[in-house]
């Protein structure tokens, strides 16, 4: 269990990404020199952990009883309580929140940030904030001390959180999000999160998540860098995500199930990249997994407009980038090559890109890239590696107890 806790540390040393544009080069160099030996040590520990896990798996194939002697009791945070199950079973209208936010003054607060600020710190039980229908112009941060927080809206397109921070106006990618989640054990459902900056503003994040978190029936909208799945373990179910360049990116272990992924019109001279995964070390159990999703053009994007740009499934943000797309519908706007390199200096030998049992006009893999790490229709073993139980290291248990519907391996569990 102690070694298992090392995995998130590799995420937290991504301090360089938090520096504002124009930070002194000597500061960046100093941080890099400080972090390099720490990263090397953590990487070595993870390599040993992965070796022991592989050995244990081989032994338990021969003697299953060994599994129960060696399996840690808490592979994942068992934070979904009985109360959580009841909350997730109810429709938003039948919930009993701790407080209500209403822009018309009919609730406890008129601003989401105010309600978050007044929520208890390090709560041991679920604290529910109901956000009534309305448009909330508010950059919301769920800080580290706000644990077990849940935001519940009145539905996508009804409860809307909107902001407009972006790179051109002086915000880094890391600080531009409309909703930032750092507090652990976070849940959200039935709301829309938008960054209204246009494509000319470049990086403009709608949602950044730096915690163990799950989202259900949420809509996340921007252009470049829409959803920053920064770190730790994340689950998205029946969400809608819209964007252009690298609009699902980061280095979390992030699973997207039954999500609608809509490609928008990019800026002049730009091409679209659905994903940009940032795995930095081969021993990190991180990546992006899309299961039973739909990737297609956003409403109003005409065939004539599509001829001006190309759309790729993703590109490698870091050397060990890892993305799997499985049993999903790929629309006709997907480029035949499927994947694109980051730039002319990209290291392609160590990336891992997988397509498995996809369908639709964009799913033909005959003209796909010939990179060493690209695989298509490989095997069910590959599929199992990228489902909830394996990829999120035991998250199957807490997600099931929350009554989030999910596919554990290949079978669906539905909300009751």
> Which CATH number does the domain housing residue 302 bear?
2.160.20.10
Q: Which domain-ending residue is among 26, 50, 73?
A: 73
Range of weakest confidence among 138-142, 251-255, 410-414 = 410-414
* Long-range CB contacts (within 8 A, 24+) of 302-309: 305/265, 306/333, 309/265, 309/266, 309/270, 309/271, 309/272
Residues 65 and 123 in one domain: no
H runs (alpha helix) in 79-212: 82-89, 112-118
Position 77 confidence tier, pLDDT thresholds 50, 70, 90: very low
Tens of pLDDT, residue by residue over 96-122, are 899 999 999 999 999 999 999 999 999
Q: Please state, in angstroms and rounded to a whole number, the distance separating the CA atoms of residues 225 and 410.
A: 30
Residues 309 and 337 in one domain: yes
Residue positions counted in the chain: 416
Q: What is the pTM of this model?
A: 0.81
168-179 burial, b for 16+ CB within 10 Å, e for fewer?
eeebbbbbbbbb
Residues 183 and 38 in one domain: no
Q: Which residues pair with 261 in a beta bridge?
A: 241, 295
Residues 6 and 135 in one domain: no
Q: What CA–CA distances, in Å, run from 75 to 70, 117, 139, 256, 396?
A: 11, 31, 33, 21, 11
Token match 């999703």: residue? 293
Tokens of 219: 């809509």
Residues 25 and 171 in one domain: no
Tens of pLDDT, residue by residue over 372-408, are 999 997 666 666 777 766 666 645 444 554 545 555 5
DSSP strand pairing (179-181 vs 159-163) = unpaired
Tens of pLDDT, residue by residue over 328-338, are 999 999 999 99
Residues 63 and 186 in one domain: no
Residues 385 and 324 in one domain: yes
Q: How many domains does the chain have?
A: 2
Q: Which domain-ending residue is among 20, 46, 73?
A: 73
φ, ψ dihedrals at 248, nearest 5° = -130, 110
Mean pLDDT computed over 279-288: 90
Range of weakest confidence among 55-59, 175-179, 289-293 = 55-59
Residues 48 and 13 in one domain: yes
Residues 214 and 124 in one domain: yes
Residues 105 and 225 in one domain: yes
CB atoms within 10 A of CB 157: 12
Residues 118 and 233 in one domain: yes
Structural domain containing residue 364: 78-413
Tokens of 160: 């809307």
Tokens of 18: 């938090």
Tens of pLDDT, residue by residue over 211-229, are 999 999 999 999 999 999 9
List Cβ neighbours of 198 (8 Å cut-off, separation of 6 or more). Answer: 223, 267
The answer to whether 138 is a known catalytic residue is no
Residues 110 and 46 in one domain: no
Task: Give the active site residue among 138, 246, 396, 397.
Answer: 246
Q: Give me the percent of the chain exceeding a pLDDT of 70.
A: 69
pLDDT at 308 over 50: yes
Mean pLDDT computed over 320-328: 95
pLDDT at 19 over 70: no
Q: Which domain-ending residue is among 40, 73, 106?
A: 73
Token match 């994947």: residue? 339
E strand spans, 126-259? 127-131, 134-137, 140-142, 149-152, 159-163, 179-181, 186-195, 207-210, 213-221, 227-231, 233-237, 240-243, 245-250, 253-257
Burial class of 408 by CB neighbour count within 10 A (0 to 12, 13 to 18, 19+) = middle
Token match 């500061």: residue? 27
């Amino acid at each position: 269990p102690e070694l298992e806790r090392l995995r998130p540390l590799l995420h937290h040393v991504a301090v360089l990404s938090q520096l504002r544009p124009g930070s002194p080069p000597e500061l960046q160099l100093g941080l890099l020199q400080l972090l390099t030996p720490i990263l090397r040590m953590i990487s070595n520990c993870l390599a040993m952990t992965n070796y022991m896990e592989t050995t244990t798996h081989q032994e338990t194939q021969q003697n299953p009883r060994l599994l129960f002697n060696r399996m840690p009791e808490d592979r994942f945070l068992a934070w979904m309580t009985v109360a959580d199950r009841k909350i997730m079973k109810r429709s938003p209208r039948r919930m009993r929140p701790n407080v209500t936010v209403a822009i018309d003054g009919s609730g406890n607060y008129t601003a989401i940030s105010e309600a978050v600020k007044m929520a208890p710190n390090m709560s041991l039980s679920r604290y529910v904030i109901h956000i009534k229908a309305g448009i909330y112009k508010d950059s919301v941060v769920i800080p580290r001390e706000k644990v077990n927080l849940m935001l519940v809206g009145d539905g996508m397109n009804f409860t809307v959180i909107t902001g407009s921070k972006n790179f051109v106006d002086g915000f880094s990618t890391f600080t531009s999000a409309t909703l930032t989640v750092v507090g652990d054990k976070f849940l959200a459902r039935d709301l829309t999160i938008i960054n209204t900056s246009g494509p000319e503003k470049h990086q403009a994040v709608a949602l950044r998540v730096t915690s163990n978190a799950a989202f259900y029936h949420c809509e996340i909208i921007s252009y470049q860098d829409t959803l920053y799945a920064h770190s730790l373990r994340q689950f998205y179910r029946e969400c809608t995500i819209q964007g252009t360049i690298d609009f699902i990116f980061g280095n979390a272990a992030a699973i997207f199930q039954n999500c609608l992924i809509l490609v928008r019109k990019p800026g002049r001279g730009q091409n679209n990249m659905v994903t940009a995964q940032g795995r930095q070390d081969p021993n990190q159990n991180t990546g992006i997994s899309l299961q039973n999703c739909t990737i297609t053009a956003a409403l109003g994007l005409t065939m004539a407009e599509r001829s001006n740009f190309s759309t790729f499934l993703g590109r490698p943000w870091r050397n060990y980038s890892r993305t799997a797309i499985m049993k999903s519908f790929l629309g006709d706007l997907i480029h035949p090559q499927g994947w694109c390199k980051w730039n002319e200096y990209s290291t392609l030998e160590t990336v891992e890109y997988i397509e498995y049992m996809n369908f639709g006009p964009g799913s033909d893999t005959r003209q796909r890239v010939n990179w060493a790490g690209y695989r298509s229709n490989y095997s069910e073993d590959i599929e199992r590696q990228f489902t909830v139980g394996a990829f999120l290291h035991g998250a199957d248990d807490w997600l099931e107890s929350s009554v989030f519907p999910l596919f554990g391996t290949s079978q669906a569990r539905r909300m009751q």
